[in-house]
Amino acid sequence: MFAFVPPAHAADRFTKLSGAQIAATLGGRQFTEEVRRDIYQKDGTLRRYEMGRARLGTWRIRGSEICIDFGNDGDTNCFEIWLQGNNVVMQRDAEDNYPEKGILEKPTDATPAVAGAQP
């Protein structure tokens, strides 16, 4: 398996975002992929909907990465963000063999409530 490396010859290349660009791009948007939808609220709250289950977490910028924490497992995962139009690739580093690929869009209105979440 090869790590995600943006193709050098592509006309529309993926661009690695800086920390400030990540915050400006993801805040108030949702990332969707095959089985999951993550809503990145501007206040740092993260709402994840995956396989009929809702989770509440947080996101923050660390350098040029986004760090995601759901609190209950004590594990914070940080990712580089690569963007091409509304196509997003989230990868831990250049050695990541399983980057997360999805679409960035406005949050959908059909968002179920997350238990324990504040409106």
In this prediction, what percent of the chain has a pLDDT beyond 90? 63
> Does 83 fall in a domain?
yes
22, containing H or E segment? helix 19-26
Between 118 and 60, the more confident residue is 60
Q: What is the pTM of this model?
A: 0.78
Quickly list DSSP for 34-91: SSEEEEE-TTSEEEEEETTEEEEEEEEEETTEEEEE-SSS--EEEEEEEEETTEEEEE
63-77 mean pLDDT: 86
Mean pLDDT computed over every residue of the chain: 84
Residue 76 domain flag: yes
Give Cα 114 to chain centroid, integer Å: 18
- The two tokens of residue 51 are 């396989």
Q: What total of structural domains would you count in the chain?
A: 1
Model confidence at 78: pLDDT above 70: yes
Q: Is 61 domain-assigned?
A: yes
User: Does residue 54 belong to any structural domain of this protein?
Assistant: yes
Host domain of residue 54: 18-104
CATH number at residue 58: 2.40.128.640
Pairing of strands 53-62, 65-69: antiparallel
